[in-house]
Amino acid sequence: MILKSDFDTFLQEIRPTKSMRDQMITGHQTLRDRLNAEEDLKPVLVSDFLQGSYRRHTAVRPKGDKRSDVDIIVVTKLHEKEYAPKDALALFEPFLDKYYKGKWRRQGRSFGIEMSNVDLDVVPTSAPAEQEYGILRSDAVTSDTDIVEAQDWRLNRSWLALNNRSRADAMVLLERAAGEAEWQAQPLRIPDRDANKWDDTHPLEQIRWTRDKNSRCNGHFVNIVKSIKWWRLEHYSETARPNGFPLERLIGEHCPNSIESVADGVVKTLEAIVSSYAVLVLTKGKPRLPDYGVPSHDVFDRITGEDFCTFYDQVKDGAVLSRRALDSDDRTESGNLWRQMFGTKFPEPPSNGSDKRGGFTPPTGPAAPGSGRFA
């Protein structure tokens, strides 16, 4: 059974709480304000913006002692011919010592900042082409809102962030944004300290692709991603690979379009993964999945064949269990099977048994406009 109302409750339960979201907002806004006010860095800064699951609306609530995390891209004017990766990164260390002493650490391509309730990942870039400065400073790039909060988001200069729509010309600009072609963003370049080279990355294309896929899936894709992420967290190690964006990329590869429910999308995505790689795992192989906007970058590069084969066996189990839950026409049985799949965050079903409703759960009260669908 689809159990829409139960899935709505479940999705609300696995999203970061309001307190967590408030802490993430405070953490990244404070850091960005400090960056832009730092006199020593002002001459080399172009823009900063959010990337990752926070911006794509695919983040789930951390489990145990884990903290929520926010990824921040810092676009600079640093030219690769003048700055080696380690030298570009070193420019930010005095700033980090000034505001986050004892809380930050060097990472291969970024800085990690460990706050009491949130982790911040700061990723500097090299200089883009000067003609791209304008769009990189626009609301379309720098807005804090995710792709579900701002469902009309367009990657062009006319689009306005939600907090700027009190402007007298807001309606005119938004109408223009809806009709304008989107900016064909170029990859940004981030420093790889360990390999001593600059690498391509395309976070804006990841955001745009997710927005378009979510639309093709009737708004269900981001919730399918969250559901499968939570299933992994519930049953397997926090660090079990693939996780994070590689897992999200794999789900995007196999989630069918025109999905009518989250339940249906979870089942069909897991079954598609099982079907697609049945032969590959016989040779202990793994797929190659190019990053959105950077075809030369395989997001599965750091995942071993052994990792993938272990994951594949887990997906087979999840596909069988979720299919049983979806196909059951008994309200209690179906709810218990989904609860077995997703754990105690999924609502406990009624115990009256054999309550057959063909997948339809009657409403318990008047519908609230805009509620539930994008939980």
Active site residues: 69, 71, 121
- 8 Å CB contact between 198 and 184: no
Residue 199 pairs in a beta bridge with: 190
Q: Is the peptide bond before 350 cis (omega within 30 degrees of 0)?
A: no
Residue 45 pairs in a beta bridge with: 76
Cα 292 to Cα 42, 65, 108, 202, 327, distances in angstroms = 31, 32, 21, 7, 34
Q: Can you say whether the dihedral through the CA atoms of 344, 353, 6, 216 is positive or negative?
A: positive
DSSP state of 155: S
The neighbour count for residue 358, using CB atoms within 10 Å, is 8
- 8 Å CB contact between 110 and 193: no
Q: What are phi and psi of 309, to 5 degrees?
A: -65, -40
- Please compute Rg for the chain using Cα positions: 22
- 8 Å CB contact between 59 and 53: yes
Structure-token match 């799949």, residue found: 341
Distance of alpha carbon 355 from alpha carbon 181, whole angstroms? 51
Q: Cβ neighbours of residue 69 under 8 Å, at least 6 residues apart?
A: 52, 54, 118, 119, 120, 121
Instruction: Tell the burial category of 236 from Cβ atoms under 10 Å away from its Cβ (0-12, 13-18, 19+).
Output: middle
Q: Which of 348, 359, 250, 226 shows the shortest CA–CA distance to 308? A: 250
